Chains A and B, each alone.
Chain A
Amino acid sequence: AQSVTQLDSQVPVFEEAPVELRCNYSSSVSVYLFWYVQYPNQGLQLLLKYLSGSTLVESINGFEAEFNKSQTSFHLRKPSVHISDTAEYFCAVSASAGGTSYGKLTFGQGTILTVHP
């Protein structure tokens, strides 16, 4: 089974400042990792994913995350945030091969990012 811990429930930051949203996971098998974003009263949108290959993955809107296997982490970063980045961000994990968790996503509790002008 997998578990995900998002270390900050809320992160306030000023516009154009850098931000890091922290995510740690636990798993006995190899994993795929995801970040989803949820705007108020909406569903989840895929932000970026790590399946294999380069441990640094990027989104089209300037976010990046790095898979660190030794630290079991997948922190999300952005060098300069905008007001429009205000949303809730969820880190998720799924087993990459075999086991009872194959094919299902396990989510963290979410981090609310609030960008102030």
Chain B
Amino acid sequence: DAGVTQSPTHLIKTRGQQVTLRCSPKSGHDTVSWYQQALGQGPQFIFQYYEEEERQRGNFPDRFSGHQFPNYSSELNVNALLLGDSALYLCASSLGFYRGTQYFGPGTRLLVL
């Protein structure tokens, strides 16, 4: 049973560029949440997708956007990258958008130069 997978594992971008991160949920899960973990910090909630719609959003600017596909996989897009966007981006999947226990993938480490 495959767990949550994310790609790529590492990414280096320069300021102003755009980036797309991808996530495949655990088998049987229908909800995907994205978190940003800066170095030395706890993860911060970005947003959550269920039935291909954004259901919850944290305190992140509109530069952060996402998408969920019919097969429940998801993408996180970040436009106009800033140095401060350098972080580990974690995807979590669950069954049901408000009550499911969230299981995390290995993350994508983004470095913005």
Contact = CB atoms under 8 A, between A and B. Distances in A.
A63 interface: no
A46 B101 contact: yes
Categorize the interface residue count of chain B: 20 to 34
B97 A110 contact: no
Contacts of A56: none
Contacts of A110: 40-42
B49 to A, nearest CB: 11
Given A104-B33, A104-B56, A45 B104 contact: yes
Contacts of A104: 33, 45, 48, 56, 58
A43 B45 contact: no
Residue with the greatest number of chain A CB neighbours at <10 A, chosen from B35, B43, B92, B97 = B43
Contacts of B43: 44, 90, 105, 107
Interface residues of A, number: 23
A4 B41 CA distance: 13
Nearest to A101: B56
Given A46-B101, A102-B98, A103-B48, A109 B55 contact: no
Contact of B45 (A34, A51, A106): A106
Contacts of B55: 103
Contact of B104 (A36, A96, A100, A103): A36
B36 to A, nearest CB: 11
Interface of B: 4, 6, 31, 33, 35, 40-45, 48, 55-56, 58, 90, 92, 97-99, 101-107
